């Protein structure tokens, strides 16, 4: 891919700690590596307040100010697409960036918690429930954990072109319902595994981690390739 054609992908930063317990904002290596491998330029969209996001209750994080929203809009405008990565908490800046990106019809890909962020933005409230099925959905460093059935007449089906695939899995909670989004896949035990927004070009959430499967799974590559294609299209149309 020529340098001038490389899409800039905004990745929402994840608050965490280093070995000395200093607060920091990070991008998962799996997400960064997948984007670089696909010829993209990763760009972190970081929170703006000078607080320890990891150690502050979500209810104690102030609402976004007008100035902060403007800064997030400027960061979004730099990007050709947005990735909402996995993680453990849904921050208010996540929700604002996602809403703004959807309004602009930007390509958005949410993985694991990222799909849950999309569902929360869609419903306007937390629609997550604890997993209580016969499948253990929390297995780290396992290539394939369970099967996923992809529904007909969905964007995901058009991308993957298969009725059923195998995926990895690292989530303790699942999305219980959607509103404007459309369910595009279920796991074997009936949990929602993928959602998409029908009236947008590419707003897709998957409950698994395709970025961790890039080196060995064709379906993960199909999903990322389509995301990058949509980002390139958005870049050209700016």
Per-residue pLDDT tens over the stretch 82-133:
999 998 899 999 999 999 999 999 999 999 999 999 999 998 767 776 767 7
Separation CA 134–CA 189 (nearest Å): 7
Q: What CATH number has the domain spanning 3-237? A: 3.40.50.880
Catalytic residue among 40, 209, 230, 231: 209
Q: Which residue of the set 193, 196, 211, 230 is catalytic?
A: 211
Q: Which two tokens stand for residue 120?
A: 């929360």
pLDDT at 127: 75
Q: Which residues of the chain have pLDDT under 70?
A: 1-4, 125, 129, 131, 135
Our answer to whether residue 112 is catalytic in this structure is: yes
Residue 36: predicted pLDDT: 97
Q: Spell out the domain ranges in the chain.
A: 3-237
pLDDT (0 to 100) of residue 121? 93
- pLDDT value of residue 129: 67
Is residue 209 part of the annotated active site? The answer reads: yes
DSSP for 20-85 reads T--EEEE--HHHHHHHHHTT-EEEEE---SSS-GGGS-GGGSPPPPHHHHHHHHHHHHH-SEEEE-
- Give the per-residue pLDDT at 3: 61
Which is catalytic among the residues 112, 146, 171, 193? 112
């Amino acid at each position: 891919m020529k340098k001038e054609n490389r899409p800039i992908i905004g990745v929402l930063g994840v608050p965490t700690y280093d070995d000395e317990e200093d607060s920091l904002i990070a991008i998962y290596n799996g997400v960064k590596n997948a984007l670089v491998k696909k010829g993209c330029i990763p760009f972190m969209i970081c929170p703006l307040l000078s607080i320890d996001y990891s150690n502050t209750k979500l209810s104690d994080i102030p609402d976004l100010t007008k100035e902060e929203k403007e800064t997030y809009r400027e960061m979004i405008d730099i990007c050709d697409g947005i990735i909402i990565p996995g993680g453990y908490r849904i921050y208010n800046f996540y929700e604002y960036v996602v809403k703004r990106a959807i309004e602009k019809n930007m390509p958005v890909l949410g993985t694991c918690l990222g799909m849950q962020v999309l569902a929360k933005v869609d419903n306007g409230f937390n629609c997550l429930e604890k997993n209580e099925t016969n499948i253990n959905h929390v297995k780290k460093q396992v290539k394939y954990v369970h099967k996923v059935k992809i529904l007909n007449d969905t964007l995901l089906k058009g991308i993957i072109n298969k009725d059923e695939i195998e995926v990895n899995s690292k989530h303790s909670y699942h999305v219980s319902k959607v509103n404007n989004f459309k369910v595009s896949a279920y796991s074997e035990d009936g949990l929602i595994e993928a959602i998409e927004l029908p009236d947008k070009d590419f707003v897709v959430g998957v409950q698994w981690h395709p970025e961790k499967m890039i080196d060995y799974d064709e379906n993960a590559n199909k999903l990322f390739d389509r995301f990058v294609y949509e980002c390139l299209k958005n870049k050209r149309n700016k």
